[in-house]
Structure 1
């Protein structure tokens, strides 16, 4: 911005200088040449006054001193030099002056002025005054040099003032930009400083007010999530302990599977609460999670959890891992939650056989979840929170996308006919401390 302000100011100053300097330069040139011709004309008139009407008969003529560096001479009607200095034979300007007119012109690199001498209504001679045109040209160039120096000084002053003003304008905007970057990096306590420039100060105040409102909103949301998670964890932990105690004391073989399933469901629900709490603390930014679960085990657990639900609806669930190494690990909790959302979405909104396929992409794993249905409605809004194409609150896919981002991965709709969602997750192998694949 600073350079733009300086360029604008310099351009404006340059245009103003050109519009003023060029006409002024022309006026200076015209004035100097006109002044020199006036000087020559006065010298010629002064000489003409001293010419006696009897000079053709030999009466001596005393002409005044010629202009500095020039000549002053008297010519008769036959163009001969009779007194003073100048060319021996009169030139074209002398010949024209015999017509009883004052003539200004050039001759042989000189500025010339010729004045006729009259007696009894008859021209009896011509006084010619001349000076080198180069002397006037040197004066013009010297004046132009002074003018150019003044223009350069004006432009220099304009640049200095423009740079100062640019700093004054850019400094509060740069400060506001730094605070915006700090906010982007997660520092919601950053505040823009006030500015002496009214418009920028208003922007800074509006920015701070908006940031305060956002901070309060985020604080309320985080507090709500933390409170809800805390309040849910406590009864879930108690329920889990109760089920474990009941499982240890239960002798009825008919009730034992139900208690085991309830205990497993409680544990999964406890893990879901923990993942939601972790996501709320991540503020939507990518955070590394511990890669604690092998992919093959994760797929088996997901299949065991969802196979029965699809079987009750008369549908099939097929799970397949394609050449995925046994030592590849992923964050089991978040990935299981995302796959759970995708499988539940396929169970509620899809139809036919559901397939979960894991593909090895080298530095990432691709989890494809597809069914035989079609993605209806606005596919671009599938991941918008609150948007739902059917039964449901429209939160699942948005939550799954946020979980994927928190892992440094990505969730996308890979195909609409048939519906296929793809989850990309960075891979970790045993002994790979930095998480490379």
Structure 2
């Protein structure tokens, strides 16, 4: 591209120089020719003043010395050369001067000027001066050579300026192209550097924004399989244990077991759908589902986790304040977060698991606590990949992402006993409660 820019600049400058130099060269030639004619006419006039009527009777005429290659001659009315140098018989230019006015023109290879000699308003003769045309051509060639040198210098300067401007124009584009190639090779951290040219700078910023969004999308999609595996592992294990137990010793209430299995499968389908939505959309666009009452959602969570915790010899206590029973919440959001916190308590905690729902500062607060002690630092517990052992460090990071997607906040409120608190505004009121969440 640099060569193309330089080539375009050279063509533009060359056209401009031609359009300027050709008329200037013609003007120089015309000026030099006019100047030489004027010099010959001045010499002829000076000689005409010195020529008296006596030259017609044969008196000699005192002619001044002519410049090298120039000639001066005086002609009588018969067109014969009386004094000086020139053709013996008057030429066309001399005959034109017999009419009483100065004349000029070319005679062979000479530039000729003729001036009449007058006395008492009568033409008595003609003074003829001439100079070789080669003198004019020599001066013209010198002037044209100077013009050509100036044009060449201008072209060189134009090329240097064009090369510099081409570098300024192409370097940001080359950087953008290089960043795109690195991204195509798998380096998703490559970004185009902003430049000094506003138009190219806007392209670079738009390119970087596009890559940022694509990177976020790819990261969400890459996390989907791990998130889905984490969220499905516990319910799948429970369903598998129930089916194996029913196969080994078919219970009398087999329809109840099958109904429970069907509900579990529906819960799994809902979980997969929620995670797919999270992976495909931006968090700000996630979870715009029809709201449900907080009491109904938490009662469903109690039903799901009572059995798994009971099989481990642990209790589940649910305490929902009456004034938040009908609190509108996005059901899938609250369900996913409570499942993550309950699973975390079941895997890493001990003793009784307590699920509490209350209202504080105009937002819904849901506490999930157990009787254990959190080993990880509070700042690291929500980092993807961080785990106190026996886990993958996915669940709590996913839960915080889901909470923030719904306009809420998930924090560690106590290390001993371990207590996680979810602050969640009512559906459709997230923006009105943002300040309250920041203060909590």
Identify the TM-score tier after normalising by the shorter chain: 0.5 to 0.7
**2:79 matches 1:61:** no
SS at match of 1:169: helix
Displacement, 1:228?
Answer: 0.7
SS at match of 2:53: coil
Displacement, 1:15?
Answer: 2.3
State the TM-score, normalizing by the size of structure 1.
0.54
SS at match of 1:26: helix
Q: Which residue of 2 aligns with 1:185?
A: 185
Displacement, 1:187?
Answer: 2.1
Name the CA distance, whole Å, in 2 between partners of 1:127 and 1:233.
123
Name the CA distance, whole Å, in 1 between partners of 2:157 and 2:249.
94
Name the CA distance, whole Å, in 2 between partners of 1:11 and 1:86.
51
> Which 10-residue stretch deviates more, 218-227 or 161-170?
218-227
Name the CA distance, whole Å, in 1 between partners of 2:237 and 2:134.
107
Deviations 1:292-313 (A, max 9, x none): xxxxxxxxxxxxxxxxxxxxxx
Q: Which aligned segments of 4 or more residues in structure 1 are displaced greater than 4 angstroms?
A: 233-250
Name the CA distance, whole Å, in 2 between partners of 1:223 and 1:113.
100
Name the CA distance, whole Å, in 1 between partners of 2:96 and 2:226.
109
Q: Which residue of 2 aligns with 1:35?
A: 35
Name the CA distance, whole Å, in 2 between partners of 1:244 and 1:156.
89
Displacement, 1:211?
Answer: 2.2
Alignment gaps of 5+ in structure 2: 251-260, 280-440
- Size of the alignment, in residue pairs? 268
Does the aligned pair in 2 maintain the 1:73–1:83 contact within 8 Å? Answer: yes
CA RMSD of aligned residues (A): 3.5
Deviations 1:192-251 (A, max 9, x none): 11212222222222322232233223323332332013333555467668767887899x
Deviations 1:152-185 (A, max 9, x none): 1111111111011001110011101111222223
Deviations 1:96-135 (A, max 9, x none): 1111111100001100000010112221111000011122
Q: Which residue of 1 aligns with 2:47?
A: 47
SS at match of 2:29: helix
Q: Which residue of 2 aligns with 1:199?
A: 199
Name the CA distance, whole Å, in 1 between partners of 2:235 and 2:185.
36
State the TM-score, normalizing by the size of structure 2.
0.54
Does the aligned pair in 2 maintain the 1:46–1:64 contact within 8 Å? Answer: no
Does the aligned pair in 2 maintain the 1:37–1:113 contact within 8 Å? Answer: yes
SS at match of 1:54: helix
Displacement, 1:47?
Answer: 0.9
Q: Which residue of 2 aligns with 1:122?
A: 122
Alignment gaps of 5+ in structure 1: 251-261, 281-437
Q: Which residue of 2 aligns with 1:326?
A: none
Q: Which residue of 1 aligns with 2:215?
A: 215
Name the CA distance, whole Å, in 2 between partners of 1:182 and 1:244.
52
Following superposition of structure 1 onto structure 2, how do residues 36-435 of structure 1 map, counting pairs within 5 Å? 36-233=36-233, 235-236=235-236
Q: Which residue of 2 aligns with 1:372?
A: none
Report the CA distance shift for 1:237/1:67 in structure 2 as closer, same or farther (over 3 A). farther
Does the aligned pair in 2 maintain the 1:52–1:59 contact within 8 Å? Answer: no
Name the CA distance, whole Å, in 2 between partners of 1:79 and 1:244.
142
